Amino acid sequence: MGDLIAVEFKERCEADAFVFAIQELGEKAVLDVEDSALVFKDGENELDIDQQENLSGQLSVSGALYFGFLGAVLGWIMSGGSLGTTLFTCQAGVLLGWIAGGVAVVCLNLGVPLSLIRELGNALEPGRAISFVSVRGTTAAEKVFEQLKSFQGVVLRTSLPPAEEKKLKTALAQAH
């Protein structure tokens, strides 16, 4: 699991811009962005949750493709070329891969947990938003903190090491 960062903003547009900036850093290979999400509480106290990545779906599909192919190859080898056995093992491989991918997401605890999004979101004041980002390391931490200085937010929760957390809070406190 990557390092989780949850930052509260006064407005949704600022929270959106924060997530976008983090994703841009991911595209530039400065950060490895695992997942991101945004929660906004409207004037009627309704939560609007926008989770960027669907890791369970991605891993389930990847597992289904991988094990489906593996099942087809093994079925073909073991059956001596029988089409019926090959199709059956391919289907069994797809099913097992789909299940294995879903279980992997739960066991590996990847991405931003929906329970955390709801927990922090329910505590929000109407009109405010929280950006959630899960990252797996950086190649240039100073570049990241420099980029984040343009945002004015409050760090609610993080799993960063204490020194990195302090730098993040300092960067967000120095908003332009």
> Higher pLDDT residue, 65 or 11?
11
Model-level pTM? 0.70
pLDDT per residue as tens digits for the range 99-154: 776 676 666 656 788 888 899 999 999 999 999 988 877 656 777 888 888 888 89
First-to-last alpha carbon distance for the chain, in angstroms, is 32
Q: Looking at the predicted structure, is the pLDDT value of residue 172 above 60?
A: yes
pLDDT per residue as tens digits for the range 79-102: 676 777 777 777 777 777 677 766
pLDDT-derived band at 176, boundaries 50, 70, 90: low
- The pLDDT of residue 8 is 94
CATH number of 3-53+113-173: 3.40.1520
**What residues contact 39, with CB distance under 8 A and at least 6 apart?**
47, 48, 49, 50, 117, 118, 120, 121, 124, 129, 130, 132
> What are the residue ranges spanned by the domains of the chain?
3-53+113-173, 56-108
The DSSP call for residue 111 is S
